[in-house]
Chains A and B, each alone.
Chain A
Amino acid sequence: MACASTSASATWNMSSLRSAIPPIHARSASSVHLSTGPSSSRLKFSSSKLLHSFVGLAPLHPLLSLSSPDSTSFEHCFTVIDNGGRFFAMRHGKRVPKLNRPPDQRRALLRALTTQLLKHGRIKTTRARASAMRKYVDKMVTLAKDGSLHKRRQALGFIYEKEIVHALFAEVEERYGDRNGGYTRIIRTLPRRGDNAPMAYIELV
């Protein structure tokens, strides 16, 4: 379509082009379609179809660039998208456990679970939560093993109760001094009666 001629063009007359190009929503739909094509997925070409000279590596917001009529310089409209302007409808390869919660609640849940595990030593939750927690518990124990003030403050920013942080920093040396990693153990158990959720005990090793 229009993209094929982008790299070949040097200068174009904007008015004739703007009359020829399709409206906004179709353009963004077509940009999605084109950016997921195999040839363009490896390229860092911007998703703009503005029939302009090659803008470079910064992906342009299609709506922003359309609104300004004097569309000569776009360097100030840098919007950073993490995966280089590519977005996919699928979850392939993403290993973050979502736990059926939005990100803020997920973080709060994991903070609460690690606080309770460090406090009680063994807790019983669902298997998904237990296996999601492991990373954060290990991270807390690693911070405690380092022991410096900065790490202690980082731990205080994660764990909800400060007494637990201080107790952890005090006793981690004698408890986990020899062990490198793997400070938790998960034991699967019978499912929960109310909703048949698979349960597990997670305990500090």
Chain B
Amino acid sequence: MSRDRDPLVVGRVIGDVLNPFTRSVELRITYGNREVNNGWDFRPSQIVNQPRVDIGGDDLRTFYTLIMVDPDAPSPSDSNLREYLHWLVTDIPATTGASFGREIVCYESPRPSMGIHRLVFVLFRQLGRQTVYPPGWRQNFITRDFAELYNLGSPVAAVYFNCQRESGTGGRRL
């Protein structure tokens, strides 16, 4: 069991949400003063406001799309609304942040009611500007189909964290 495995594979993000990919662009997401790493636990009170996103890359002319989905909606044991879309930002120039892009689905703070949900940030490279359009509704959003629809190709970066109800662990626990 001590194989060195990618946290995205271990957490089944690759599998449920994405296909296997190789990350090529650096993606750093920070809520408040706490950076998001794979598999960390955040409380709904910490993720009320949209995070600070920093994208690597080198060329300011390449644009990226950032998607934030919850594959465990409404509950991990019964995920019939698989992939609830929380945030969708497009036309983000490389080396900048999400505030420089066009936010076509505004940030909705996740408030899971039941179970521990994974929340996944996925970054795609766009072929051109203004090629991505918002979906009609937030639930049943399939990231794979969305990427295929708008020719986004394989993801270039992804990170996920866990979130549960505010009083989920009972008492003061991190």
Contact = CB atoms under 8 A, between A and B. Distances in A.
A123 B77 CA distance: 10
A203 interface: yes
Interface string B29-66: 00000000001110000000000000000000000000
A108 to B, nearest CB: 18
B77 A119 contact: yes
Interface string A176-205: 000000000101011011100000010110
Contact of A193 (B39, B75, B76, B173): B173
B173 A120 contact: no
B12 A204 contact: no
Residue of A171, A193, A201 most packed against chain B (CB within 10 A)? A201
| Size band of the interface chain B makes with A | 20 to 34
B133 to A, nearest CB: 33
Q: Is the interface of B mostly helix, strand, loop or mixed?
A: loop
A185 B162 contact: no
B17 interface: no
A124 B174 contact: no
B142 to A, nearest CB: 19
Contacts of B169: 124
Given A187-B10, A204-B77, A193 B116 contact: no
Contacts of A50: none
A58 interface: no
Residue of A120, A123, A190 most packed against chain B (CB within 10 A)? A120
Interface of B: 10-12, 39-41, 72, 75-79, 114-116, 162, 164, 169, 173-174
Closest 5 CB pairs of A and B: A121-B77, A121-B76, A120-B115, A122-B76, A122-B116
21 contacts: A118-B77, A120-B77, A120-B115, A121-B75, A121-B76, A122-B72, A122-B76, A122-B77, A122-B115, A123-B115, A123-B116, A124-B41, A124-B116, A171-B78, A185-B12, A187-B11, A189-B39, A190-B41, A194-B173, A201-B162, A203-B76
